[in-house]
Structure 1
Amino acid sequence: MSKQPSAVIIGAGQTGRGFIARFLFKSNYHLTFIDKNEKTVNYLKQDNFFTIHCFTETVPPVHIHGFDTHLAASAAAHQALLDADLLFVAVGQQNLAQVAADIAPALAQRRSQGKDPLKVLTCENGVAPGQILTDAINGYADAQGAALVSEVAIFCTTNVLKKTRLDIGSENYNRVPYNAAILGGPLPIEGFDPDADMSKLLKRKIYTYNFISACVTYLGAYKGIEDYAASANDDEVRKLIFSVVPELNKALCRVLEVDAESQKTFSDNALKKFSDHNIEDYVSKNARDVARKLRPDDRMIAPANMIIENHGDTHAIAIVIAAAILWGERNEKLLESFASVAAVLTTLSKVNKDSELFKQVERYYTALKSGTTIGSLLK
């Protein structure tokens, strides 16, 4: 009998446990979860079972069982990495350097044993997470060349189900776009769909889906809406989205060289997904870590710069950025870290203080803080 293939997932959260795991489980991979959260690791060890429930009740649940679980950087995790056929990294982009430090010893040992480079796939939002992880791994001389790092684009919404220890609620999404070429060819995993240009897809996803998500999130939060689909269906929120998306689409078509009809369909699908009341999601969950989302290469500032370069109107996107800064001030002490809105824009977001965007954001921030409605700012 042939050996059961082994897949290690670093990051046993919503994406790793609730999305990637079901494809691997259905394709008969033995799963090993590695996580730094001791509570999560203990629950997975104790239960050795959890269920992924689709938000659409007609779709049967997937019961995941028979897996191993180890604490990050432990001896057991090291051994699992030595034995792995595939490694999936489902952590935030800001944590990739730590992942590289954790896995470098195992990669170095695999290479010393004459094993082929480990096939690694990043599974997190980001413009170039694969390159970030590759560069971090190559910072360890003994691990250089011991991994082939590919990327997965995550379009599926997942949530930890309330009042359960481990169960996940998931959108009925059954496609995993990934870069197969860098791995030497397609993986034998049902639902994994090779994409010819992952770099373009990841940028398009961040600057379309994640941008529209930022509109839904920070405008909804400003209006006191917690249900994500309710925010996406709110009249003022939709008015702003319909105002800015045509400008965004024109800019993305020029920068990413995609055709107009395809990009319009792409953005329409994003709003359709976010407006679906059958998909359980929350504004507060999507708002977290606002400083990362205000970086110059992320979902708000990069699209704004593209619109500027395309000679478009930035007033609507400036409202979203202002709402994000206000949310960060109220919920994550953003202005304690950066002292002022101006400092956020110039230091964190790298916005020129003499630019029209800078002036717009400062003006809209002041208006929003005083309680001005979004609708009145759009007039």
Structure 2
Amino acid sequence: MATAVHFGAGKIGLGFIGDLLHQSGYHIVFADVVEKTVAQLRKEKQYRLFLIDHDYQERIIDNVDAVSSIQDPDGVVEAMTHADIVTTSVMASNLPKVAPLIAKGLKARLEKHLPKMTVMACENAIMGTDILKKAMLDTGVMTSEQLEQAAVYPNTAVDRVVFDGHHHGQEGIEVGDAYELAIERGKLLDPNSEPIKGAEYVDNLEMYLQRKIYIINCGHAISAYLGQVHGYHTVQEVLHNERLLHQVKAAMAESAAALEAKYHFSKQSLQDYIETMFVKRMTTPGLSDPVTRVGREPIRKLSPNDRIIGPANECESFGLDNQYLLRGAACALLFHNPDDKQAVKMQQFIQTHGIEKAIAQYTKIQPNSAMFEKLLKAYWEAKAKLPANVGNAK
């Protein structure tokens, strides 16, 4: 039986990538830093998924194991020497943290003269596997030539609704039917192969990555940031407010217009994508997605090529409207969460240096440009609405 090593036993790892790897016939070894999760997977050798669209029917994912990447890094390396594929779902910002261990595993494979394997980062990031590969090279564990000898590195685009769940007296992960896993066909060992069943193998991944990040991730994040400004606690509360739902959909429609201009997606297909992959899924009865979780790491989400500023920049380049995207960015600049390091850092920067320097620092939008002025204006308008119990609002 083929073996997969997956870094990250969180909700995406268990509920999405682990599910597809299981359905593809792999024995899965999860590498994670949470000792409790590792111990439970090692003991039970299985876990449960609850199918949201099927009255939370239970699906058992078995034939799994786990190893601690903190307590037993040698065990992770050893597992990689028996694997055919390595995948990750650790969040893009954590890829540099897992890169040294993955590089050591690949080096061990080379030393044992094992065949090339497939390494894929399944993250909410554009070209996440490229990010991981560069991070591995930066460790100095392997040379560029050795990395090429050890593995192939297809990029992916990922999307699935996953939540913690408790049903039938059991703990597990809630998952929706709809998902997207697009994989770069041209970077596979065999372009005609399907290492993960149920994935879509594409020749131009960038257009699918941007569609997912610039529409779904964009709408999700803006829902959270709008929600906090208006005093809501969950994304679902935001989307059940018709006025705020209109603003979220308007921002996604601006992104869609840029993607239509850039990649020639049909307008109708993008409208359907918004309704099916975002609105329908995010308003599924019973779902509760906290704005503090969805909005976490605002610095990353405000970066020039990410989910809000990225499509706003594309709109600007095509001469398209981006007012709702910039309103979303303004709300992101107001995001407060004392448990999120990036949110704390950003608010401290704003307090110390002012909002103008913060916009330039985090979005890289040029000061005094029309886009900069629109965002600044939107920031002050949103700040005036911020509830007094959020951060230091006055």
TM-score (structure 2 length as normaliser): 0.86
Equivalent residue number for residue 292 of structure 2: 284
Per-residue deviation at 1:174?
Answer: 5.6
Distance 1:280 1:191, change over 3 A: farther
**1:222 partner letter:** V
Q: Indicate yes or no: 2:277 matched with 1:265.
A: no
Q: Does residue 1:363 correspond to 2:377, yes or no?
A: yes
1:301 and 1:254 mapped to 2: Cα distance?
17
Stretches of structure 2 that go unaligned for 5 or more consecutive residues are 388-394
Does 2:49 align with 1:52? yes
Query: Which residue of 1 is the match for residue 14 of structure 2?
Result: 17
Answering whether residue 375 of structure 2 is matched by residue 348 of structure 1, we say: no
How far, CA to CA, are the matches of 2:335 and 2:198 in structure 1? Answer: 37
**1:106 Cα deviation (Å)?**
1.7
Percent same amino acid at aligned positions? 24
Q: Partners of 2:22 and 2:233 in 1: how far apart? A: 33
Q: Is the 8 A contact 1:96 1:132 kept in 2?
A: yes
Q: Is the 8 A contact 1:335 1:344 kept in 2?
A: no
CA contact (8 A) 2:223 2:239 kept: yes
Question: What residue in structure 1 maps to residue 130 of structure 2?
Answer: 131
* Structure 2 equivalent of residue 92 of structure 1: 91
1:336 aligns with 2:333: no
Correspondence for 1:377? none
Shift in alpha-carbon separation, 1:312–1:244, aligned structure 2, 3 A: same
Report the equivalent of 1:150. 154
Within 2, Cα distance between the matches of 1:313 and 1:180?
Answer: 34
Q: Is this contact kept in 2: 1:101–1:137, CA < 8 A? A: yes
Paired residues of 2:29 and 2:79 also in contact (CA < 8 A): yes
- Paired letter, 1:182: K
**Take 1:88 and 1:166, find their aligned partners in 2: how far apart are those partners?**
24
Q: Which amino acid aligns with 1:45?
A: R
Computed over aligned residues only, the root mean square deviation of the Cα atoms, in angstroms, reads 2.5
Equivalent residue number for residue 28 of structure 1: 25
Q: 1:301 corresponds to which residue?
A: 309
Between the two proteins, the alignment pairs up a number of residues equal to: 370
Name 2:3's counterpart in structure 1: 6
Distance 2:30 2:171 in 1: 13
User: Which amino acid counterpart does residue 109 of structure 1 have in structure 2?
Assistant: A
After TM superposition, the structure 1 stretch with the greater mean CA deviation from structure 2, 313-322 or 184-193, is 184-193
Following superposition, the deviation at residue 64 of structure 1 comes to 2.2
- Residue pairs, 1:225-244, within 5 angstroms: 225-244=232-251
Q: Distance in 1 between matches of 2:284 and 2:65?
A: 35
Aligned residue identity for 2:358? V
CA distance in structure 2 between the aligned counterparts of 1:329 and 1:75, rounded to whole angstroms: 36
Amino acid at match of 2:75: A
The alpha-carbon deviation at position 301 of structure 1 amounts to 0.7
AA of the residue aligned to 1:167:
G
Contact 1:215–1:237 under 8 Å retained in 2: no
Q: Could you tell me which of 174, 182, 186 is aligned with 1:181?
A: 186
Gaps of 5+ in 1: 374-379
Distance 1:188 1:129 in 2: 18
Question: Contact 1:12/1:40 (CA < 8 Å) preserved in 2?
Answer: yes
Partner SS state of residue 62, structure 1: strand
TM-score by length of 1: 0.89
1:329 offset after TM fit, Å?
Answer: 7.2
Residue 71, structure 1, aligned to residue 63, structure 2: no
Name the SS for the 2:57 alignment partner: coil
Task: Label 1:243 to 1:202 Cα distance change in 2 as closer, same or farther (>3 A).
Answer: closer
Amino acid at match of 2:368: D
Distance 2:362 2:127 in 1: 19
**1:376 alignment partner in structure 2:** none
2: CA distance between counterparts of 1:219 and 1:34?
A: 35
1:89/1:310 CA distance change after superposition, 3 Å: same
Match of 1:253 among 247, 260, 268: 260
2:158/2:180 contact within 8 Å kept: no
Higher-strand-fraction structure: 2
CA drift at 1:287 = 1.1
